[in-house]
């Protein structure tokens, strides 16, 4: 059964429009509380990013939870992965995050973590949606939940992050620019690096409720690049609004994306003798990472696009490292979900141990050029069910050989086919991608 409100990353939308309105947030809190109450007296931790609408949704959510008999700890502005960690640390029944991640301020969302710090299973989200259809009631006034503010939440998470960095190493001597996207990491992010000894210069650390992700952070690294160059920093680190995505910048101002970060972590762990069987990426991961991992003897598996699908593959295979080029990086030997601060500390560990710069560490992977064309079609359909398209794909794949690939993906929200070709030579993939797009358009328009 499909879910009406929950998407791949919780409930999300524009503030003031269903479902991101206070009435729904309160009902959602109550419904989630009813599901959690089935296993005893529940408790929940709630964190949020810096959006102005977070105050409204936080109040509505914890009112609904309280009405269902749930005790609530309010964490204040905290990164999404911090909420996952603190749900475990406090032995809570669940963690709730109020955030729309890398979206603009006028969007917001609500997502849940289970007691073990992982995203809720689809089955639990369906149970919550079932309760949303029932009238909201307070069964026992004596059992209404309590709410308290957890004043030491930031310090607890800072110490957790620092513990993922080797205790005998230090960041002394490194000058680092940190861009927090005016988001949830604006306090804890710089503190982690300073306490480990780095000289920290901040960008995007003055949230006003409306400037989250605005021309800054991991989706807009230009401000970080400029600051690294002006300050002659060793490197730069950019987070997104809720702190689960990361991109980095080397001392020359060049952006280092999620695929490169994953590769550097993988190679550093192999060099350090740590067990690592393979890495999980997605259908959109750059083939250059796949080739580079293969060259150092690591298996590489592609999941569907989305960090929850990366997590599924990691769990099924018992692996610990994976992520997306967009900057979701999952280190399951350190934490339970994608965590940008912890991912950055794994790269910094490699920088300190090796004595090499970020620019030098990224040299082992050469990114392949990609070409993407969106083709509008008459109605949603699977392009690979068309014989003409199927034959054209086979011909392109034959020309590319083992060092290139083709991906045709139907949009989940609009009648569009995304045609992507990847290979070693830009001129070749541009030609082949345009050819495939023309075939798709002719066959399916």
| pLDDT mean over 160-186 | 98
| pLDDT mean over 24-29 | 98
Q: What is the mean pLDDT of the chain?
A: 94
Q: Where are the alpha helices (DSSP H) in 3-150?
A: 22-37, 53-67, 80-89, 122-132
User: Does 2 score more than 70 pLDDT?
Assistant: no
What confidence score (pLDDT) does residue 412 get? 65
Residues pairing with 202 in the sheet: 178
| pLDDT mean over 401-413 | 84
Give Cα 356 distance to the centre of its chain.
Answer: 27
* DSSP letters for 148-208: EE-TTHHHHHHHHHHTTS-TT---TT-EEEEE-TTSTTTTHHHHHHHHTT-EEEEES----
User: Does 338 score more than 80 pLDDT?
Assistant: yes
What confidence score (pLDDT) does residue 66 get? 97
| pLDDT mean over 4-10 | 86
pLDDT digits (tens, 9 = 90+) for 249-298: 999 999 999 999 999 999 999 999 888 999 999 998 999 999 999 999 99
What confidence score (pLDDT) does residue 24 get? 98
* DSSP letters for 62-100: HHHHHHTT-EEEEEEE--HHHHHHHHHHTT-SEEEEE--
Mean pLDDT lowest for which of 4-13, 180-189, 250-259, 434-443? 4-13
* pLDDT, greater one: 412 or 79: 79
User: Does 47 score more than 80 pLDDT?
Assistant: yes
- SS3 assignment, position 141: helix
Task: Please indicate whether residue 344 is annotated as part of the active site.
Answer: no
User: With pLDDT > 70 as the criterion, what percentage of the chain qualifies?
Assistant: 99
User: Does 18 score more than 90 pLDDT?
Assistant: yes
Among candidate residues 43, 66, 99, 101, the one labeled active-site is 101
Distances (CA, A) of 243 to 77, 186, 347, 404, 418: 11, 9, 16, 33, 28
Distances (CA, A) of 279 to 259, 285, 308, 346: 11, 11, 15, 15
Taking the C-alpha atoms of residue 129 and residue 116, their distance in angstroms, rounded to an integer, is 21
What confidence score (pLDDT) does residue 301 get? 97
What confidence score (pLDDT) does residue 383 get? 85
User: Does 1 score more than 60 pLDDT?
Assistant: no
What confidence score (pLDDT) does residue 187 get? 98
Give every CB contact of residue 19 below 8 A, 6+ residues apart in sequence.
5, 11, 13, 25, 28
pTM: 0.92
What confidence score (pLDDT) does residue 4 get? 86
| pLDDT mean over 77-82 | 98
What confidence score (pLDDT) does residue 7 get? 84
């Amino acid at each position: 059964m499909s879910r009406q409100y929950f998407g791949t990353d919780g409930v999300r939308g524009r503030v003031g429009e269903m479902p991101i309105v206070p009435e729904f947030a309160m009902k959602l809190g109550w419904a989630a509380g009813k599901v959690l109450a089935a296993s005893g007296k529940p408790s929940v931790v709630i964190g949020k990013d810096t959006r102005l609408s977070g105050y409204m949704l936080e109040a509505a959510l914890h009112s609904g939870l309280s009405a269902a008999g749930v005790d609530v700890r309010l964490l204040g502005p905290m990164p999404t992965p911090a909420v996952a960690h603190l749900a475990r640390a406090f032995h809570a029944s669940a963690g709730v995050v109020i955030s729309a991640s890398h979206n603009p301020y006028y969007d917001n969302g609500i997502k849940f973590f289970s007691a073990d710090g992982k995203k809720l299973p689809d089955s639990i989200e369906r149970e919550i949606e079932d309760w949303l259809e029932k009238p909201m009631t307070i069964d026992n006034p004596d059992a209404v939940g309590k709410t308290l503010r957890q004043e030491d939440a930031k310090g607890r998470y800072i110490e957790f992050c620092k513990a993922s960095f080797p205790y005998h190493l230090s960041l002394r001597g490194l000058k680092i620019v940190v861009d927090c996207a005016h988001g949830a990491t604006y306090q804890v992010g710089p503190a982690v690096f300073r306490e480990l000894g780095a000289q920290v210069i901040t960008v995007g650390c003055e949230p006003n409720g409306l400037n989250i992700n605005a021309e800054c952070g991991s989706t807009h690294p230009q401000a970080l690049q400029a600051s690294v160059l002006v300050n002659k920093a060793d490197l730069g680190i950019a987070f997104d609004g809720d702190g689960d995505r990361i991109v980095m910048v080397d001392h020359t101002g060049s952006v280092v994306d999620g695929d490169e970060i994953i590769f550097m972590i993988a190679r550093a762990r192999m060099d350090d003798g740590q067990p690592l069987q393979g890495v999980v990426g997605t259908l959109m991961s750059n083939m250059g990472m796949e080739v580079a991992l293969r060259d150092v003897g690591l298996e590489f598996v592609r999941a569907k696009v989305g960090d929850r699908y990366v997590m599924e593959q990691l769990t099924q295979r018992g692996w610990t490292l994976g992520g997306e080029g967009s900057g979701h990086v999952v280190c399951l030997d350190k934490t339970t979900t994608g965590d940008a601060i912890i991912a950055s500390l794994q790269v910094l560990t490699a920088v300190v141990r090796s004595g090499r710069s970020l620019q030098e560490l990224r040299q082992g992977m050469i990114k392949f050029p990609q070409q993407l064309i969106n083709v509008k079609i008459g109605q949603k359909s699977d392009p690979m069910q068309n014989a003409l398209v199927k034959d054209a794909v086979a011909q392109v794949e034959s020309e590319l050989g083992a060092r290139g690939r083709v991906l045709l993906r139907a949009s989940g929200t609009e009648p569009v086919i995304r045609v992507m070709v990847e290979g070693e030579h830009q001129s070749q993939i541009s030609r082949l991608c345009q050819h495939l797009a023309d075939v798709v358009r002719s066959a399916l328009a």
